[in-house]
Amino acid sequence: RIEGAGFFQGSGGGAGYGRKTLKQVCLEEGFDSTEILAQLRERDIEANEEQTLREIADRIGVHPKEILPSLMRVAQGDTDGR
């Protein structure tokens, strides 16, 4: 696992998010993609807006449904992952 992958935990609803790009999810959920990408980089997770959540999840060894709750925490300002 990539350092910082422990941030990604939770029970997201899934709903096909693994097939969506990070950009699509940010637009749909009202997230700031620049902030999300910065938070991922702080955790040594390289990603870009055109990657699917599945691609990002596979890279860090988690299920795609685990990423959405973590993105929501980042978007709400909880940057320590709790």
Q: Which residues pair with 52 in a beta bridge?
A: 21
51 backbone dihedrals φ, ψ, rounded to 5° = -80, 145
Number of neighbours of residue 78 by Cβ within 10 angstroms: 11
Q: Which amino acid is at 28?
A: E
Say which DSSP state 62 is in.
S
Give the CB-side neighbour count of residue 53, counting CA atoms within 13 A: 26
pLDDT at 48: 96
* Cβ pair 8, 62 in contact under 8 A: yes
Per-residue pLDDT in tens (0 to 9) along the chain, 82 residues: 344 444 444 444 446 888 999 999 999 988 899 988 998 888 888 899 999 999 999 988 888 888 888 877 877 776 554 4
pLDDT at 45: 87
User: Per-domain residue ranges for the chain?
Assistant: 11-75
pLDDT at 6: 46
